[in-house]
Amino acid sequence: MSQDLSDVRFLTVAEVADMMRVSKMTVYRMVHSGEMPAIRFGRSFRVPESAVEAVLSSRVADVG
């Protein structure tokens, strides 16, 4: 990882769900399947903001 961790912004599952406009359970499924990287702190997960942006940009479909 070439990026300094002090520059990384970590989001909670609830924050990620709000950003993506999905349920928290959907975010948990993505984390557990490996589709979205996350770090576990105790019993909770934190997702790097860059990972959310990467998932959102890869999901954009050209409809029409």
pLDDT, tens digit (0-9, with 9 covering 90-100), for 2-60: 556 678 899 999 999 999 999 999 999 999 999 999 999 999 999 999 999 998 888 76
Inter-residue contact 36 to 44 (CB < 8 Å): no
Q: What does the pLDDT read at residue 18?
A: 97
For the chain, domains (ranges, CATH) are 5-57 (3.90.105)
Q: What does the pLDDT read at residue 61?
A: 62
Q: What does the pLDDT read at residue 62?
A: 58
pLDDT at 63 exceeding the cut of 70: no
Inter-residue contact 12 to 48 (CB < 8 Å): no
Q: What is the DSSP string of 17-60?
A: HHHHTS-HHHHHHHHHHTSS--EEETTEEEEEHHHHHHHHHHT-
Q: Which residue has the tokens 């909670």?
A: 12
Q: With cut-offs at 50, 70 and 90, classify the pLDDT of residue 64.
A: low
